[in-house]
Amino acid sequence: MAIQTAIPLIAEYDAAVTTTKIARAAGIGEGTIFRVFADSTE
């Protein structure tokens, strides 16, 4: 769900999109993103 939510945000904000914006849009906690994606290279 977070990835599907992130795609339009990336299109809108490019590299300026934050995990906070993605989490809020997906309705999940930001910590959930960090648990799933251990670092920014995944």
Alpha carbon distance 28, 24 (integer Å): 6
Residues, the chain: 42
When pLDDT is cut at 50, 70 and 90, the band that residue 2 belongs to is confident
Residue listed under structure tokens 């849009």? 25
Whole-prediction pTM value? 0.74
User: Percentage of residues in the chain with pLDDT exceeding 70?
Assistant: 90
Q: For 10-39, what is the mean pLDDT? A: 91
Please tell me what DSSP assigns to residue 16. G
